[in-house]
């Protein structure tokens, strides 16, 4: 057991935040922590970390427990460089390595090897070397490179100052530092912000397969929670509820808990009504007064079950249409998506079609032009090349990622009412109420309400427009988990046509009928959801590798017998040299790995570690062999 919390309570003034909290974090187990904004997640984490006091209860931390904590602000040294920050994780090992070098110099300068002083130096050196090896000290740079590459820094100058990095890069670097520290407990607060699909995939695989400690993750990324955790904690109305399984299992178990809660509440209310009715009828009668008084006592001692409906209610969304469009909703031919002045092309030669009733998700790397594509087909961005044709009877609603198409100076209710002046006030207020925009919020200027409230206001506009085509750009960005679930269902129930950009992989699994991946060269269509896209893309990669392998024997200098006659003499020679080098590298890798294993075995023998000169030679060779192995692997990956 790493952490145990029992009957813990915390208030700020008269505001009770946490009530009778109980949780246990076991070694090697993975936990997700969710709850609406303001539920107390950060407060609970602060208490676990010892940064906040608590009013009552007990908190146990295992002796010697090491904790890595990723806060929403990274905590990096802004004046340091990327590589210095990463090597700082291993300061203890690097200090040990420096001490080993100094001991080597002293032993090398010793007049004789059979003195007490020399044996003392050798003993100290052996201890430090054992410590250094047990913590994989010879592979520090390899470990740093592996994690930095996985977290998206493969093309980054590692001597760049942290102060020059973007917010997203700082988050990724902070995660990399925590992974390299390998604490017994890793606490991650919204780790998936600013991560692209490739980095997310790498991080998920690393946490599942390589990280050996316990995990506690606060996240709105439902897909990430499903992959990485096997227990869920939910903070709701000051209390903590536990569920076995990832996010999808939590959704099921929570619904069952609420249903059981409602059943127990209803049963108790019936019992209370029955008791109260008996008391009212019999309390004044001499013959039945005693029985009535006993029922009064039973009522007083009854532990009242709270009404489930008093929980925060989710928003309600329903997107409708007033008329059907023709079958071909949108046709795009040879379109270049450009931004800036002079125009800079992000993606060229796009051919794309959208048909009635389809629900299409648009994905791609950050900066490839997904949002710009939506604006271009809507006519909000100019384009010099290509054609955009909307089908007959199409009416289009557009959800802008940051809701900048809202009038920031209007109060919220006027922003909605001015767009639909003929709709009665009761209907306007009813729509605002359905998304839980309170009376106070609707009379605030759009610019001062939260991102989530602006998102809900935009949904109100779309619900009243009743268009038969909706374009969404990152609609889940500012939503809490219950609101995401509601939006997902509304998108599935929508009878019209959807085209949307999203990084929400859970949404991408639940809603689209096809995934379209956007690259600099155009678009690739995958007829399925996100899991299908991933499996299909992986299959295509494997198939391409197999085809290259099948073609490799045909690349012979003799075009008549090989089928490779279309290649020039220089190309065939280069290909032959490439294959020869791959074979050489594979042989070198095998030989080097065998020699490293042999050296590591030798260095455990007493006749070796007791002889400074021999040990020094072995150590130097091991370092060189590890360095060679890294170079061989790097070259092999490049050309193979």
Tell me the pLDDT tens digit for each residue of 137-146. 888 988 999 9
Range(s) of the domain holding residue 575: 559-639
Residue 556's pLDDT band (cuts 50, 70, 90): very low
Q: What is the pLDDT of residue 74?
A: 59
Q: What is the pLDDT of residue 563?
A: 44
Q: Is the pLDDT reported for residue 604 higher than 70?
A: no
Low-confidence winner among 91-95, 133-137, 625-629 (lowest mean pLDDT): 625-629
pLDDT tens-digit map of 195-248: 888 899 999 999 999 999 999 999 999 999 999 999 999 998 889 999 999 999
pLDDT tens-digit map of 515-533: 999 988 889 999 999 999 9
| Whether 347 and 455 share a structural domain | yes
pLDDT tens-digit map of 379-418: 999 888 999 999 999 999 999 988 888 999 999 999 999 9
Residue 5's pLDDT band (cuts 50, 70, 90): very high
| Whether 336 and 441 share a structural domain | yes
Enumerate residues 6+ apart whose C-beta is below 8 A from 631: none
Of 433-437, 584-588, 593-597, 629-633, highest mean pLDDT: 433-437
| Whether 370 and 506 share a structural domain | yes
Enumerate residues 6+ apart whose C-beta is below 8 A from 66: 181, 183, 184, 185
Q: Which two tokens stand for residue 263?
A: 């059943």
Q: What is the pLDDT of residue 639?
A: 79
Q: Are 159 and 82 in contact (CB under 8 A)?
A: yes
In a domain, 196, yes or no: no
CATH number, domain of 444, equals 3.40.50.300
Low-confidence winner among 128-137, 140-149, 548-557 (lowest mean pLDDT): 548-557
Q: Is the pLDDT reported for residue 558 higher than 60?
A: no
Low-confidence winner among 91-95, 120-124, 636-640 (lowest mean pLDDT): 636-640
| Whether 346 and 302 share a structural domain | no
Q: What is the pLDDT of residue 623?
A: 77
Question: What is the C-alpha to C-alpha distance for residues 309 and 476, in angstroms, rounded to an integer?
Answer: 25
Q: What is the pLDDT of residue 580?
A: 80
Residue tagged 């080097």 (tokens): 592
In a domain, 88, yes or no: yes
| Whether 353 and 306 share a structural domain | no
Cβ-count burial of 91 within 10 angstroms (0-12 exposed, 13-18 middle, 19+ buried)?
exposed
Q: In what order do the strands lie in the sheet with 359-364?
A: 396-399, 469-473, 497-501, 359-364, 514-519, 522-526
| Whether 263 and 149 share a structural domain | no
Beta strand 231-236 pairing with 185-189? unpaired
Residue 501's pLDDT band (cuts 50, 70, 90): very high
Residue tagged 């993606």 (tokens): 347
Q: Please, where are the H alpha helices in 466-611? A: 481-493, 505-510, 530-551, 559-562, 569-602, 606-609
Q: Is the pLDDT reported for residue 423 higher than 70?
A: yes
Q: Are 64 and 21 in contact (CB under 8 A)?
A: no
Question: What is the C-alpha to C-alpha distance for residues 176 and 145, in angstroms, rounded to an integer?
Answer: 10
Q: Which two tokens stand for residue 141?
A: 């740079």
Q: Is the pLDDT reported for residue 562 higher than 50?
A: no
How many independent structural domains does the chain possess? Answer: 4
Q: Is the pLDDT reported for residue 285 higher than 90?
A: no
pLDDT, the chain, mean: 88
Residue 565's pLDDT band (cuts 50, 70, 90): very low
- What is the rounded average pLDDT of the residues 481-485? 91
Question: Phi first, then psi: what are they for 320, rounded to 5°?
Answer: -120, 170
Q: Which two tokens stand for residue 388?
A: 């955009």
**SS3 of 133, please?**
helix
- What is the rounded average pLDDT of the residues 451-456? 92
Question: What is the C-alpha to C-alpha distance for residues 567 and 320, in angstroms, rounded to an integer?
Answer: 59
Question: Phi first, then psi: what are they for 408, rounded to 5°?
Answer: -65, -20
Q: What is the pLDDT of residue 561?
A: 41
In a domain, 519, yes or no: yes
| Whether 408 and 276 share a structural domain | no
Q: Which of the pair, 562 or 305, is modelled with greater confidence?
A: 305
| Whether 420 and 347 share a structural domain | yes
DSSP codes, 397-416:
EEE-TT-TTS-TTSBHHHHH
| Whether 490 and 365 share a structural domain | yes
Q: Which two tokens stand for residue 501?
A: 């950009």
pLDDT tens-digit map of 404-415: 889 999 999 999
Residue tagged 């678009």 (tokens): 523
> pTM of the predicted model, to two decimals?
0.77
Enumerate residues 6+ apart whose C-beta is below 8 A from 287: none
Q: What is the pLDDT of residue 311?
A: 55
Question: What is the C-alpha to C-alpha distance for residues 118 and 380, in angstroms, rounded to an integer?
Answer: 79
Q: What is the pLDDT of residue 569?
A: 61
In degrees, to the nearest 5, what angle opens at C-alpha 495 toward C-alphas 493 and 497? 110
Percentage, residues of the chain above pLDDT 90: 57
**Of 499, 534, 569, which marks where a domain is finished?**
534
In degrees, to the nearest 5, what angle opens at C-alpha 238 toward C-alphas 235 and 241? 40
Question: What is the C-alpha to C-alpha distance for residues 367 and 553, in angstroms, rounded to an integer?
Answer: 40
Q: Which of the pair, 600 or 19, is modelled with greater confidence?
A: 19
Q: Is the pLDDT reported for residue 312 higher than 80?
A: no
| Whether 630 and 481 share a structural domain | no
In degrees, to the nearest 5, what angle opens at C-alpha 7 toward C-alphas 5 and 8? 70
Q: Convert 176-198 into a string of H (helix), E (strand) and C (coil).
A: HHHHHHCCCEEEEECCCCCCCHH
DSSP codes, 282-342:
HTT-TTTHHHHHHHHHHHHH--PPPPGGGSPPPP------SS---SEEEEEEEEEEEETTT
Q: What is the pLDDT of residue 559?
A: 44
HSE value, Cβ hemisphere, 13 Å, CA-based, for 50: 7
Residue 568's pLDDT band (cuts 50, 70, 90): low
| Whether 422 and 513 share a structural domain | yes
Q: What is the pLDDT of residue 270?
A: 94
Q: What is the pLDDT of residue 557?
A: 45
Q: What is the pLDDT of residue 73?
A: 56
**Of 470, 499, 534, which marks where a domain is finished?**
534
């Amino acid at each position: 057991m790493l952490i145990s919390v029992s009957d813990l309570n915390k208030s700020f003034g008269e505001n009770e935040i946490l009530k009778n909290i109980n949780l246990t974090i076991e070694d090697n187990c993975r936990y997700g922590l969710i709850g609406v904004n303001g539920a107390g997640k950060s407060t609970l984490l602060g208490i676990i970390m010892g940064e906040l006091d608590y009013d009552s209860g007990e908190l146990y931390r295992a002796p010697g427990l090491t904790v890595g904590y990723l806060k929403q602000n990274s905590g990096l040294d802004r004046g340091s460089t990327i590589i210095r920050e990463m090597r700082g994780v291993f300061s203890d090992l690097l200090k040990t390595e420096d001490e080993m070098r100094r001991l080597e110099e002293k032993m090398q300068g010793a007049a004789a090897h059979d003195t007490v002083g020399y044996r003392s130096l050798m003993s100290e050196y052996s201890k430090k070397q054992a410590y250094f090896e047990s913590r994989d000290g010879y592979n520090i740079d390899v470990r740093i490179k592996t994690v930095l590459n996985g977290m998206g820094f493969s093309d980054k100058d590692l001597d760049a100052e942290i102060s020059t990095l973007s917010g997203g890069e700082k988050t990724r670097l902070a995660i990399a530092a925590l992974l390299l520290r390998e604490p017994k407990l890793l606490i991650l607060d919204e780790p998936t912000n600013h991560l692209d699909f490739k980095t997310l995939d790498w991080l998920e695989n690393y946490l599942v397969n390589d990280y050996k400690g316990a995990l506690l993750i606060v996240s709105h990324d439902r897909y990430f929670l499903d992959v990485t955790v096997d227990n869920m904690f939910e903070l709701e109305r000051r209390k903590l509820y536990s569920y076995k399984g990832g996010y999808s299992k939590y959704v099921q178990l929570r619904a069952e808990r609420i249903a059981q809660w409602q059943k127990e509440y209803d049963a108790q209310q019936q019992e209370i009504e029955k008791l109260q009715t008996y008391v009212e009828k019999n309390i004044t009668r001499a013959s039945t007064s005693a029985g009535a008084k006993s029922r009064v006592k039973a009522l007083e001692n009854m532990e009242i079950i709270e009404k489930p409906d008093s929980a925060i209610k989710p928003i309600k969304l329903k997107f409708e249409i007033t008329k059907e469009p023709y079958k071909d909703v949108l046709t795009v031919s040879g379109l270049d998506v450009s931004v800036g002045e002079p125009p800079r092309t992000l993606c060229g030669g796009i051919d794309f079609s959208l048909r009635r009733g389809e629900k299409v998700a648009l994905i791609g790397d950050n900066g490839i032009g997904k949002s710009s594509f939506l604006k271009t087909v809507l006519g909000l961005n100019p384009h010099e090349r290509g054609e955009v044709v909307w089908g007959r009877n199409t009416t289009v609603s557009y959800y802008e990622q940051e809701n900048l198409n809202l009038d920031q100076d209007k109060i919220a209710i006027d922003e909605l009412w001015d767009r639909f002046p003929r709709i009665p006030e009761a209907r306007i207020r009813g729509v605002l109420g359905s998304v839980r925009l309170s009376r106070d919020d609707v009379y605030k200027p759009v610019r001062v309400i939260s991102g989530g409230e602006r998102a809900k206001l935009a949904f109100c506009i779309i619900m009243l427009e009743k268009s038969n085509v909706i374009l969404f750009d990152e609609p889940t960005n500012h939503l809490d988990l219950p609101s995401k679930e509601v939006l997902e269902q509304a998108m599935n129930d929508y009878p019209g046509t959807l085209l949307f950009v999203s990084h929400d992989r859970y949404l991408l699994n639940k809603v689209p009928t096809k995934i379209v991946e956007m690259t600099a060269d155009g678009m690739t269509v995958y007829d399925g959801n996100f899991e299908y896209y991933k499996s299909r893309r992986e299959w295509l990669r494997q198939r391409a590798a197999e085809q290259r392998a099948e073609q490799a024997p045909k690349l012979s200098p003799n075009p008549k017998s090989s089928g490779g006659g279309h290649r020039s003499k220089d190309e065939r020679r280069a290909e032959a040299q490439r294959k020869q080098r791959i074979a050489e590298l594979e042989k070198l890798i095998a030989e080097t790995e065998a020699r490293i294993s042999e050296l590591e075995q030798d260095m455990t023998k007493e006749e070796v570690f007791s002889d400074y000169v021999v040990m020094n030679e072995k150590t130097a060779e091991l370092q060189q062999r590890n360095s060679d192995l890294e170079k061989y692997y790097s070259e092999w990956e490049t050309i193979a």
